[in-house]
Amino acid sequence: MNYTAKMLRDDALKGKNIVVTGGGSGLGKSMTKYFLELGAQVAITSRNLDKLKNTAKELEEATGGTCLPVQCDVRHYDQVEAMRDQVLASFGSVDILLNNAAGNFIAPTERLSANAFDTIIDIVLKGTKNCTLAFGKYWIDTKYTNTNVLNIVTTYAWTGSSYVVPSATAKAGVLALTRSLAVEWAKYGMRFNAIAPGPFPTKGAWDRLFPEELKDKFDMTKQVPLRRVGDHQELANLAAYLVSDFAAYVNGEVVTIDGGEWLQGAGQFNLFQDIPEHMWDQLEAMIKAKGKK
């Protein structure tokens, strides 16, 4: 067994109906595939209906499950309500919302137009708010309980990060939303959690954040103490656990899955890992000698 193995028992999500925003590609697609394998019915939503249809067909063929493609731009509340109603009409109920859709690009902040900044805030923060409100209010109104929302953030939601400032700003808001509603809406039988992934290669993120010319200059694995990027199944395992009833007592948590990446950037003396082993004898002697003066 290794970290690419599937973790949960086969019926872990049997009977659950799940909505995955941005489920047609990247990490959303990988999580959707595992949810289907675990017995859930999954609706995938994004702006591009053709992409969603292709993904749904591929995943249904691969898993034998039910995957419903629904077009929806999460920036628009009317579209989110229409998506919710379309999923309810097909599935009868929804138990789990996974807010995974996002937009991002690398740019010095002073180069951004107001519209560019808004575009990212609208997809990430407003989109997550729109979906959370549409499903949350519905669950409250219908007294439908044992539901949960999982939000995908990043580690720079709390560290901040240069050159992706709209994304960092929006993800910080999503994290605050997660923790706030974990308390406020627990009385309605809802749980709220988040996952903060480190680098997991996907076309959507990699093409936008590491254009070809930059790929050689920035080796992401060097930023990770475990010296590798994440495998999609590792993330899918964690997501499936958090949305499942096995995590019924996990509420308001953000789970980091980044091989230690953000802590490597944070620790003041972590740069010392570049000192070769043989130099430590010399350094120790120098430091002790100073102490005796």
Residues in contact with ligand HXC by CB under 6 A are 102-105, 107, 111-113, 115-116, 119-120, 154, 167, 199, 204-205, 208-209
- 8 A C-beta contact, residue 110 and residue 160: no
Q: Which residues contact 200 (CB under 8 A, 6 or more apart)?
A: 27, 229, 230, 231, 232, 235
Identity of the residue, 12 or 170, whose beta carbon is nearer to ligand HXC in the bound complex: 170
212-271 residues in contact with ligand NAP (CB under 6 A) are none
Residue 166 binds ligand NAP, judged by CB under 6 A = no
Instruction: Indicate which residue of 34, 138, 144, 156 is catalytic.
Output: 156
Residue 20 binds ligand NAP, judged by CB under 6 A = no
- At 157, give phi and psi (nearest 5°): -65, -30
Nearest CA to 105 among 113, 97, 96, 94? 113
Nearest CA to 181 among 120, 129, 146? 129
Q: In the numeric block, which tokens belong to residue 161?
A: 């990060």
CA angle in degrees (0–180, nearest 5) for 18-121-193: 40
Identity of the residue, 17 or 223, whose beta carbon is nearer to ligand NAP in the bound complex: 223
Active site residue 156: yes
Q: Please name the residue ranges forming H helices in 150-231.
A: 156-159, 165-184, 203-209, 212-215
Grouping H, G, I as helix, E, B as strand and the rest as coil, residue 196 is strand
Identity of the residue, 165 or 250, whose beta carbon is nearer to ligand HXC in the bound complex: 165
Shortest approach of ligand HXC to residue 182 CB, angstroms?
22
Calpha distance 134→144 (Å, rounded): 14
Calpha distance 180→151 (Å, rounded): 13
Shortest approach of ligand NAP to residue 203 CB, angstroms?
6
Residue 6 binds ligand NAP, judged by CB under 6 A = no
Identity of the residue, 88 or 229, whose beta carbon is nearer to ligand NAP in the bound complex: 229
Nearest CA to 101 among 172, 157, 46, 52? 46
Identity of the residue, 39 or 204, whose beta carbon is nearer to ligand HXC in the bound complex: 204
180-209 residues in contact with ligand NAP (CB under 6 A) are 197, 199-200, 202, 204-205
Shortest approach of ligand NAP to residue 263 CB, angstroms?
16
Identity of the residue, 21 or 178, whose beta carbon is nearer to ligand NAP in the bound complex: 21
Reported as type and span, the H/E element at residue 141 is: helix 127-142
Residue 73 binds ligand NAP, judged by CB under 6 A = yes
The contact mask relative to ligand NAP for 97-126 (x = CB under 6 A, - = no) is ---xxxx-------------------x---
Return the range that interacts with ligand NAP (CB under 6 A); candidates 9-17, 42-50, 86-94, 285-293: 42-50
Torsion of CA 60, 65, 70, 73, to 10 degrees: -90
Residue 66 binds ligand NAP, judged by CB under 6 A = no
Sheet strands side by side (includes 67-71):
67-71, 41-46, 17-21, 96-99, 147-152, 190-197, 254-257
Residue 67 binds ligand NAP, judged by CB under 6 A = no
Residues lying near ligand NAP in the complex (CB under 6 A) are found at 21-22, 24-28, 46-48, 51, 73-75, 100-103, 123, 127, 152, 154, 197, 199-200, 202, 204-205
What residues act catalytically?
156
